[in-house]
Amino acid sequence: MGKGMRAGKRPKAKAASPQQQMAQMQAIQKQMDEVQDKINAMETSASSGGGAVTVTVNGTKAITDIQIKPEVVDPDDVEMLQDLVMTAANEALRQMEEISQNEMGKFTSALGIPGL
């Protein structure tokens, strides 16, 4: 072993300079922006009533399409149709939120910041 070295000990890594840290943060921010753009371009759909109502949302969590099968439209039971639309919309939004959290979570877990 070399002089001043102990078994199992490694030399301490040199701390990154503030400029290096800033460059790393800027690179991470750029990657996060790219992932957010990718998420914004995504779409997901969910249906209810056995496919009677299908709602599509995009990555910005805006509803982009609603499909309703004609046989589910009953003027005497508008409440059921409203429930089907609401259920499908909420599920599509939940799915998009999950996709977003999974994609962005890759960055927050890599940063080691608790609670993000």
Q: Is the whole-model pTM more than 0.85?
A: no
pLDDT in tens, 2-46: 565 566 666 666 777 888 888 888 888 898 899 999 999 999 999
- Among residues 39, 50, 30, the alpha carbon closest in space to that of 98 is found at 39
Q: Provide the residue ranges of all domains of the chain, joining segments of one domain with +.
A: 43-98
| Tokens describing residue 41 | 């371009």
**47/90 Cα distance (integer angstroms):** 10
**88/93 Cα distance (integer angstroms):** 9
At residue 10, the pLDDT reads 65
| 18-41 vs 78-111: helix crossing angle, rounded to 10 | 160
**66/86 Cα distance (integer angstroms):** 11
Q: Tell me which amino acid residue 94 is.
A: R
pLDDT in tens, 49-105: 999 999 999 999 999 999 999 999 999 999 999 999 999 999 999 999 999 999 888
At residue 49, the pLDDT reads 94
- Among residues 34, 32, 54, the alpha carbon closest in space to that of 45 is found at 54
Is 43-98 in CATH node 3.30.750.24? no
For the chain, state the CA radius of gyration. Answer: 25
